[in-house]
Structure 1
């Protein structure tokens, strides 16, 4: 195979609403970040899937809320070249991918973009890498390549790609005859039996410059507004990240890359992918994808079973026991428990939508919330007070901030805290208390090489995270929060 001319830049699409693997996933912690079997998240599996390919750094497209999760999880698996583009709001995949293309070509160069959703499973990474190499020549020649999964079964939950003739000059690449929508069961069975249809997995390979040309041809208004959003974007302090301009980006009509480009171009092609792919779109899918015990069960965490078969049971902390049941999904978290028939786990979105309509906090954040400096856990919440356990990693530092509606008491239970309180800088040891009056400008730091933990007792009239006004933040986060589920 001829040596590649253009650098390969993987583009990680990190959206997600946190519904499909609820209650382990939430709006603030979608499924790509959830640790699964082996302790790694789907995002981390995606990042390590390309080991062995020569890549020229990664681009991740996400939002402000998830930026530090992407950066932290990438760092944990050794990805040290990561450019992050921050969308002010979701506008589907076409603007997200095109923003990455504009960013990669900002210095006048070009690259092959390998577009990867962050929340898919690929059981055989080596077969995935081989498919990428098969598509590389066609992509460098200007073809827009997508990867169609060889169907493992008739599936009504995916769109399909009907394959056309082979590209004579590129082995293993076929023309795209048409994209088809999600079929009914009988139609899906005919598709699979014919051998001419592949699942549409949303994975792409093309030249960045070529994608921009296609978007300018088929969606010129989107291309103009997106370029304006990128050019007016603002760099994020202490991070290789760019915030796309909110006004210009908000004016873009959201559209998928399939509709905006792939179904419009005459240069589309598909590479069949047989690599054990799954979109991990339900708890039942995880049962199917993981090796079970002798009774077909998959268990994670502190679980005890008796006379149970074909079930997925997951505990995040407490002991979970099941007796005399089968074909169930049971997922425990500190603030919510899911019990579902296996064949009904795909209906979970309706439950989560109803909970969101009722403004239930369990759809948004876990009781333990991860932040760039560490994490906090809500221990108790009452109309008159809130109690948190806050853990600050070595070198971690909360923003310099104040509150309009609450005062705080900090009790150090592990490590040594450096506390800024208005004009004072205090060193607070284990067993000592720092009082933060209402309106006081304050900051909590861990200047040691050991974990710092405090118990925070808040008193006042309102305890939402949007009661934070930042004056300084080493992680480059916004000055003000926009809602109760904002960033600390």
Structure 2
């Protein structure tokens, strides 16, 4: 156990999903890991925002088992060493924050924590860090510090903060007179007139003090989270919270569980530009736009159009003579809607799920610990896939009961093992056949990504026809 320091421990909450940003965001690959407004995902941008070693310690990431390899890989890609803590079930933000506070207090006692959502956009990183520095003194003095922003409209999806008396003579750091979570539209409009602030959903606090406040206002959640941390286990570098303990935590938000109830709260008036990018109209709002108000991400062309968003992943997407449209294209789905109907995308996804459409939750590209598989073509008894294996990546030793496979290497060098054959190397344009039922494994011992085309043939080609015998990622 290491002792806490004056540095702040960032805690990145990265376990949710965002159906309103379909088809880019889906349950299997949600919005926080997607490059929605630039080259990096919002998760990576958040990690970089708190990477100043003079102010921040190494971050803790709270996410689910399904996203553990995304979290580790994307952190490494931006040069950040993160401790990834796995929630065994989604219990909303209260249990996540309580577990994070318990984990930090156990591993870095005495530390301050900055809890951040992984799916928010902040356009002024240094201004944001200045706000954190301003709030740190209040957090060290025992306050839970929230970051308030001047509202631009009476949104009902946000919490509202009424600032009170200034602290330390600074009008940008105040006590909180009232905190109200998600008011109705009439009340929200009245709050705008009274000078309330939006709650940005980011919190700065001493870990020990947050645990004490949970003990006062949500002792059941505090007990479940603390036990889950005390009984946590290590799994190939990940920290797994105890599932039995964590599952007893009540499902509610940190706002309802603690923030609305505590008196120990202060607010920093944030001067940074911020968005929770909860829907595609928010992506348009935070994007750079041309003289006609159009924003384009990816391979898109817009002509004679105004105030449109084009977000394209991998295919040319064109818009002509439109106004106020959201056009989002992925290799297997396209979504078009007026900007004012952005919130209705959630209902569209619900309808797709009810209809049994795989596109509602799955992408063609299926990420694995070692790389990814992308579906190219499929028929009644065959499928063609593009497989990319990262340097050092090793697929499980496996076999299939209903299909055979044919591999053709198109880049890099593969080390292959097929039952009944000696292990061998395959280089570009070389191929191998894997008979039905044969145990086999594929790995990349080279320095560059291995790419190959896999042709599957057989009576049944489902992913559940994989019998894993050995696996370095402990999926067997």
User: What does residue range 335-354 of structure 1 map to in structure 2 within 5 Å?
Assistant: 335-354=332-351
1:330 counterpart = 2:327: yes
Shift of residue 160 of structure 1?
A: 1.1
CA deviations on 1:24-58 (whole Å, 9 max, x unpaired) are 11111111111134311111111122344521100
Query: In the alignment, what sits opposite 1:446?
Result: 444
- Compared with structure 1, are the counterparts of its residues 134 and 426 closer, same or farther at alpha carbon in structure 2 (3 Å cutoff)? same
Identify the residue that residue 233 of structure 2 maps to in structure 1: 234
Q: Secondary structure at the match of 2:136?
A: helix
Please report how far the alpha carbon of residue 216 of structure 1 lies from its aligned counterpart in structure 2 after TM superposition.
2.4
Note the 1:55-74 alignment, pairs <5 A.
55-74=56-75
Other structure's SS at 1:299 match: strand
228-237 vs 198-207, which deviates more?
A: 228-237
Q: CA RMSD in A?
A: 2.1
Is contact 1:138–1:170 with CA below 8 Å preserved after alignment? Answer: no
- Report the counterpart of residue 358 of structure 2 in structure 1: 361
CA distance in 2, matches of 1:147, 1:370: 35
- Residues of 2 paired with 1:157 and 1:216: CA distance? 27
Question: What is the CA distance between 1:107 and its match in structure 2?
Answer: 4.3
* Structure 1 CA distance for aligned equivalents of residues 241 and 108 of structure 2: 20
Out of 245, 249, 252, the residue aligned to residue 252 of structure 1 is 249
Kindly state the Cα deviation for residue 22 of structure 1 after the two structures are TM-superposed: 0.9
Which 10-residue stretch deviates more, 327-336 or 271-280? 271-280
Rounded to whole Å, the distance in 2 between the matches of 1:13 and 1:276 is: 20
Residues 115/449 of structure 1: CA separation in 2 closer, same or farther (3 Å cut): same
Question: Given the superposition, is the C-alpha separation of residues 139 and 451 from structure 1 closer, same or farther in structure 2, using an over 3 Å criterion?
Answer: same
Asked whether the 8 Å contact 2:98–2:221 carries over to 1, the reply is no
Equivalent residue, structure 1, for 2:307: 310
Equivalent runs, 1:406-485 vs 2, <5 Å? 406-422=403-419, 424-474=422-472, 476-479=473-476
Distance in 2 (CA, whole Å) between partners of 1:157 and 1:146 is: 17
Once the 2 structures are TM-superposed, how far is the Cα of residue 472 of structure 1 from its aligned partner?
3.2
**C-alpha distance in 2 between matches for 1:292 and 1:461:** 50
1:445-472 CA-to-partner distances (Å, cap 9, x unmatched) read 1112233211112233443334334333
The equivalent of 1:390 in structure 2 is 387
How far 1:429 sits from its partner (Å)? 3.0
Q: C-alpha displacement at 1:207, in angstroms?
A: 0.8
Q: 1:129 offset after TM fit, Å?
A: 0.8
Give the distance between the partners of 1:22 and 1:47, measured in 2 at CA: 24
Task: Give the aligned partner of residue 200 of structure 2.
Answer: 201
Given that 2:181 and 2:255 are in contact with CA atoms closer than 8 Å, whether structure 1 keeps it comes out as no
Return the alpha-carbon distance in structure 1 between the equivalents of residues 456 and 387 of structure 2: 12
Contact 1:145/1:205 (CA < 8 Å) preserved in 2?
yes
Partners of 2:113 and 2:289 in 1: CA distance: 36
The equivalences for 1:23-38 within 5 A come to 23-38=23-38
Give the TM-score, by structure 1 length.
Answer: 0.91
Q: What is the TM-score of this pair, normalised by structure 2? A: 0.93
Contact 1:392 1:451 in 2 (8 A): yes
Task: Report the Cα distance in structure 1 between the residues aligned to 2:464 and 2:243, rounded to whole angstroms.
Answer: 19
Are the counterparts in 1 of residues 7 and 56 from structure 2 also a CA contact under 8 Å? yes
Counterpart of 1:78? Answer: 79
Q: Tell me if the contact between 2:37 and 2:283 (Cα under 8 Å) persists in the aligned partners.
A: no
Where in structure 2 are the equivalents of 1:127-138 lying within 5 Å?
127-138=127-138
What are the ranges of 5 or more consecutive residues in structure 1 without an aligned counterpart?
Answer: 480-488
Structure 1 runs (4+) deviating above 4 angstroms are 168-171
1:377 Cα offset (Å)? 0.9
Offset at 1:104? 1.6
Query: Contact 1:13–1:118 at 8 Å: present in 2 too?
Result: yes
> Structure 1 residues 161, 442: CA separation in 2 closer, same or farther (over 3 Å shift)?
same
Aligned to 2:212: 213
Change (3 A) 1:466 1:5: same
Q: Distance in 2 between matches of 1:278 and 1:69?
A: 23
Helix, strand or coil at the partner of 2:106: coil
**1:154 matched to 2:154:** yes
SS in 2 for 1:375: strand
CA contact (8 A) 1:410 1:456 kept: yes
Q: What is the CA deviation profile of residues 251-278 of structure 1, one whole-angstrom value per residue up to 9, with x for unaligned ones?
A: 2221211122222322122222121111
Kindly report which structure 2 residues correspond to 1:105-184, keeping only aligned pairs within 5 A, or say none: 105-107=105-107, 109-168=109-168, 172-184=172-184
Q: Distance in 2 between matches of 1:100 and 1:280?
A: 24
Q: Secondary structure at the residue paired with 1:224?
A: helix
Q: Quick check: 405-414 or 167-176, which moved more?
A: 167-176
Change (3 A) 1:433 1:92: same
Change (3 A) 1:341 1:209: same
Q: Give 1:262-273 correspondences, 5 Å limit.
A: 262-273=259-270
